[in-house]
Amino acid sequence: MTQPVCAQKSPYAVELQPGEYYWCACGRSKTQPFCDGSHAGTDITPTAFTVTETKTVYLCGCKASKNAPFCDGSHQAL
């Protein structure tokens, strides 16, 4: 099994408009925190999530959150 790469040891605070998004779960994307297809060749797939209203969300940067794609503070233990 391929392990995700820690993209950064803090969350990404992003303001999102309503819509569907794909969070990078592998840590290899050049467009963090969103998927750019860099997971190809691994067994890791992006996590789809939907935003229903414009809001700021905190997306996991370390790729260790138990509440993916959202930050749960796991980066503090790395």
> Residue 5: inside a domain, yes or no?
no
pTM: 0.94
- Give the per-residue pLDDT at 69: 98
- Give the per-residue pLDDT at 2: 85
> Residue 4: inside a domain, yes or no?
no
**CB-based contact 6:32 (threshold 8 Å):** no
- Give the per-residue pLDDT at 1: 66
Domain holding 58, by residue range, is: 12-70
- How many distinct structural domains can be found in the chain? 1
Mode of pairing for the β-strands spanning 55-59 and 12-16: antiparallel
> Residue 78: inside a domain, yes or no?
no
> Residue 51: inside a domain, yes or no?
yes
- Looking at residue 69, its amino acid is P
- Looking at residue 17, its amino acid is Q
The predicted-structure confidence for 17-63, as pLDDT tens digits, reads as follows 999 999 999 999 999 999 999 999 999 999 999 999 999 999 999 99
